[in-house]
Amino acid sequence: MPDNRIKVLIADDSAFMRNALSRMISSDPELLVVGTARDGVETIDKVNSLKPDIVTLDVEMPRMNGLEALKVIMDTNPVPVLMVSSLTSEGAEITLEALDAGAVDFIPKNLADLSVNILKIREQLLEKLKAIGRRGIVRRKARRQPLSVPRKTFEGQRRISLVVIGSSTGGPKALQEILPHIPEDLPVGVVIAQHMPPSFTGPFAERLDSMCKISVKEAEHGEPVRAGVVMIAPGGKHLKIVRRRTLEVTAEIVDAEEGEYIYKPSVDLLMISATRAFPGRTLGVILTGMGNDGLRGMEMIKKDNGKTLAQNEETCVVYGMPKAVVEAGIADKVVPIEEIAGEIINSV
């Protein structure tokens, strides 16, 4: 009888981490630890020999570090890789490099009290391993240049005044495929809730800004929503769009609703606040990610006669958040990642 469990390879130079991750992963009947590796060279060898469905990969390892090993794996024997990243500014920068190099996602670990905090990542780790391991590597078609703006327009006559994007697992790479194709003179503002730890969203916004024509920054409390500016919600906080007066719309960072919303930043909270500020004139975009954060927000945008756009299954790393929206029948359009920038441009 075939073994249908998802095969996991653990790569970490710490014996404590290898044992802790092995115990967590082995506790799930859908997962199987097929091996462990102590450095980058051993990781490459075991990817080739053990044929895992997914790899957890530490960054700091002897002989060959995780980032170097990742690049070799992606060139020679591509397999989904989940980085194990420290919650530091340096950890964020290296993790973003790893996502650029082909890693699918990351699990953050707090080095300040590792023995306690490693247990806190269990649920997130198992969920990601199963979702990504089943999905495998998502291969995308090369984008044709120049970007073609869709001919078909959204239904209705009202133009969009604000674009709100929600994303999670696979989102950083997806956003890097979308935002560089948005022009610097986009006549509306863009706000994004990407599930990320607090130390990661600032460096992520800086990285996006360096690759894009449009300005990208981490949102600040009380900052006006401006045309031609993309604001990334800070990790660990919620972001709201608030209309104070007729012409004054600001982004406000809050913690008050944390009991109601699981994820911080919450896609639902951001989208609901956005459509209250711009009823009927908000475009909601839901990208790759696990779970259903964004479903309530997209429902509200749809109810207020705004526009809704979902990434299609074929180009998602994890078809969870878009699936919830599509199955609820509230997506006006479902398109591949390479068409989303054009759809945004076409709607404003």
Q: Which structure tokens are listed for 200?
A: 């990661």
**What is the CATH architecture of 6-135?**
3-Layer(aba) Sandwich (3.40)
Sequence-distant (≥ 6) Cβ neighbours of residue 122 within 8 angstroms: 24
Res 98: pLDDT: 94
Name the catalytic one among 195, 266, 332, 347: 195
pLDDT below 50 — which residues of the chain? 142-145, 151-152
Is omega for the bond preceding 52 within 30 degrees of 0, making it cis? no
Same fold, 6-135 and 162-347: yes
Is omega for the bond preceding 265 within 30 degrees of 0, making it cis? yes
The fold of the 162-347 domain, in CATH, is Rossmann fold (3.40.50)
Res 148: pLDDT: 53
Res 258: pLDDT: 52
Is 195 one of the catalytic residues? Answer: yes
Res 115: pLDDT: 57
Res 256: pLDDT: 58
Convert the pLDDT of each residue in 244-275 to its tens digit.
876 789 998 887 555 678 888 999 999 999 99
Res 139: pLDDT: 62
Name the catalytic one among 161, 168, 273, 347: 168
Is 168 one of the catalytic residues? Answer: yes
Name the catalytic one among 13, 53, 293, 332: 293
Res 147: pLDDT: 58
Res 192: pLDDT: 98
In the chain, % helix, strand, coil (3-state, to 5) comes to 40, 25, 35
